Amino acid sequence: MTEMVYGSVPTRDGEPILPRWWRTIDKWSLSAVFLLFGIGLLLGLAASPPLAQRNGFSDFFYVQRQAFFGTVAIFTMFAFSLMSPQTVRRLAVIGFACSLVALMLLPILGTDYGKGAVRWFSLGFGSIQPSEFLKPLFIVVAGWMIAASNEVAGPPGKSYSFALALFIVLLLALQPDFGQASLVLFSWGVMYFVGGASFFILAGMAGLTVVGGALAYQNSDHFARRIDGFLSAEVDPTTQLGYAANAIREGGFFGVGVGEGTVKWSLPDAHTDFIIAVAAEEYGLILVLVIIFLYATIALRSLFRLMRERDPFIRLAGTGLACTFAVQAMINMSVAVRLLPAKGMTLPFVSYGGSSLIAGGILIGMLLALTRTRPQGEIADHLIRRGR
Where do the domains of the chain lie? 29-108+126-373
pLDDT of residue 222: 63
Q: Are 325 and 364 in contact (CB under 8 A)?
A: yes
- Give the pLDDT confidence of 239-250 residue by residue, as tens digits: 777 778 888 888
Who has greater pLDDT, 49 or 134?
134
pLDDT at residue 374 in the model: 76
The winner for highest mean pLDDT among 46-50, 263-267, 321-325 is 321-325
Average pLDDT, the chain: 84
Q: Please write the tens of the pLDDT for every residue from 351-368.
A: 988 889 999 999 999 999
Which neighbouring-strand residues pair with 127? 122
Residue 94, classified by CB atoms within 10 Å of its CB into exposed (0-12), middle (13-18) or buried (19+), is: exposed
Kindly compute the dihedral angle of the four CA atoms of residues 30, 32, 36, 41, in this order, to the nearest 10 degrees.
60
- Residue 191 CA to residue 170 CA, distance in Å, equals 20
- Determine the pLDDT at residue 234: 67
Please give the pLDDT value at position 10: 47
Could you give the residue ranges of the DSSP H alpha helices within the chain?
A: 2-6, 17-24, 27-47, 49-54, 61-81, 85-109, 130-149, 157-173, 178-194, 199-219, 221-231, 240-251, 275-306, 312-336, 354-370, 379-387
Rounded Cα–Cα distance for residues 209 and 185 (Å): 9
Position 235 confidence tier, pLDDT thresholds 50, 70, 90: low
Model confidence at 376, pLDDT cuts 50, 70, 90, reads low
pLDDT-above-70 percentage for the chain: 88
Lowest mean pLDDT of 64-78, 79-93, 116-130, name the range. 116-130
Range of weakest confidence among 26-40, 132-146, 200-214, 361-375: 200-214
The contacts of residue 305 (CB under 8 Å, 6+ apart) are: 7, 26, 371, 373
Query: Residue 254: phi, psi to the nearest 5?
Result: -120, 0
Confidence of residue 65 (pLDDT cuts 50, 70, 90): very high
Give mean pLDDT, residues 249-274. 80
Q: How far is 332 from 348, CA to CA, in rounded Å?
A: 9
